Amino acid sequence: MSEFDGKSVLITGGGSGIGLATARRLLDAGARVAIAGRDTDRLEAAAKELDAGERVIAVRADVASTADVDVLIGEIQSKFGSLDGVFANAGVGLNARTADITEADFDQVVGTNFKGAFFTVQKALPILNDGGSIVFNASWLVHRGMGMGSLYAASKAAVLNLARTLAPDLADRGIRVNTVTPGHIKTEMFDAVTGNDQVREFFRGQVAIGRLGDPTDIADAVLYLLSSRSSYITGQELVVDGGLVGSVPN
C-alpha cells in the first residue's frame, strides 16, 4: 500500500514549478490531487502530463478571489468528497524598489500570496478531515533582506506567521500546519525574477551546496510535512535552500 492511498490533497499553483512537482510526487504515492491556478491552458496541460485519470482534477481559480476559492472547494467536495491535505503554494513574485511599487502591485502580490493563502485554507477547513495537514509556501526572503524584495518578502512573512498561529488554532481537530521555505528553485518564477543568466549565476553562488534547487527538492519536503511521518511537527518551518539562509558563501 502506498503512503497516500485514499488521501486527497489540494495544491494551489499546481499547474507549474513546485506545485506541479508536488502533484506528481503525491500521485506517485497514491494520492488524489486537485490542482488550481488561473490559466486554464496551463492547468489542462499539467493534468494531461500528470496522466492520472480521475485521481487528478484541475480547477481554474484565482486564489485572490474568494468567489473563485468557493468554486474550487465546491468542485473538490463534489469530486473527492473531502481533503486530507492542503498545499497553499500559489504565489507571484515582484522584483522592484519600494519607491516604484504601485497599489496595483500591492493588491496583486498581497492578494495572491497572503489573502489567497489565508482564504484557501479557511475555506478548505469545512472539508478538511480531522488529522489533516496544511503546508504553506514561504520564501528564503523571510530571513534575508533584499533591496528589490520588500513587498514580496513581507507577504511571505505574513504566511509564515499565519502558519505558526494556525497550528494551535487547529490543533483540537488534529490538523497540523507547517511552512516550507524554499531557497532558489529553478522554476518559471525564478527565471522571470532573475531575468538573465548572470543574475542566476550570482544567486547560485550564494548557495552553500553550489546548485540551484529543483522543484522536486521542495516537493519531497512537502510530502514529508503532509505525511504521518511528521505527525509530531506543527507550527514549524522547514527551510529547503541548500544552505542559502544559514551560510556565508565560500
Ligand X SMILES: NC(=O)c1ccc[n+]([C@@H]2O[C@H](COP(=O)([O-])OP(=O)(O)OC[C@H]3O[C@@H](n4cnc5c(N)ncnc54)[C@H](OP(=O)(O)O)[C@@H]3O)[C@@H](O)[C@H]2O)c1
**Minimum CB–partner distance for residue 189 and ligand X (Å):** 3
Q: Is 163 in the site for ligand X (CB under 6 A)?
A: no
Residues 75 and 59: their CA atoms lie apart, in Å, by 8
Residue from 188, 149, 240, 211 nearest 46 by CA: 188
In terms of phi and psi (left: phi > 0; alpha: psi -120 to 50; beta: otherwise), the region of 53 is left
Q: Which stretch binds ligand X (CB under 6 A): 24-32, 123-131, 165-173, 186-194?
A: 186-194
Integer angstrom CA distances of residue 107 from 103, 115, 145, 147: 6, 9, 21, 20
Give CA–CA dist 96/150, Å, rounded. 8
Query: Per-residue x/- mask for ligand X, residues 206 to 225, rule CB under 6 A?
Result: --------------------
> Strand, coil or helix: what is 8?
strand
Q: Binding of ligand X at residue 22 (CB under 6 A)?
A: no
Closest approach, Cβ 227 to ligand X, in A, equals: 20
Residue list 98-127, contact with ligand X (CB under 6 A): 112, 116
Q: What is the per-residue binding string for ligand X in 69-88, x denoting contact by CB under 6 A?
A: --------------------
Q: Rounded distance, CA 120 to CA 189, Å?
A: 21
Query: Catalytic site residues?
Result: 152
d(CA 98, CA 75): 39
Smaller CB separation from ligand X, 16 or 206 = 16
The minimum distance between CB 171 and ligand X, in angstroms, equals 25
Binding residue for ligand X, selected from 189, 208, 209, 233, defined by CB under 6 A: 189
Using CB under 6 A, list all residues that contact ligand X: 12-13, 15-19, 36-39, 42, 62-64, 89-92, 112, 116, 137, 139-140, 182, 184-185, 187-190
